Amino acid sequence: MKPHPTARLCCLLLLAASLLSCVSSEPRTLVPSITLSPETVSLSNGEPVGAGLNFGMSTGLNESDSLSNIAVLPGVRVRTVTPNGAAALAGLRAGD
């Protein structure tokens, strides 16, 4: 006995639907955003800090060198480097 053409079509559609349900995709990766502004960042309040990491340097806000376009740039500027400290051994210098 030969199967009916509609039955064959229904079987193919059922097979295709079951295969499509197995398709998966990776979740979308969200890029983190930086929400801090230079006005709210406090690099140091002048009080000594307890035990912690010492990179052998002091830093400050990274301000532009142009007097006609004064702005606070991303990052920090190295103010001083301790001789033979970690920063000095890494090749950092004041002004970097």
pLDDT surpasses 80 at 85: yes
pLDDT surpasses 80 at 39: no
Minimal CA–CA distance to 77: which of 67, 91, 65?
65
pTM reported for the whole predicted model: 0.42
Sign of CA dihedral 31, 63, 94, 84: negative
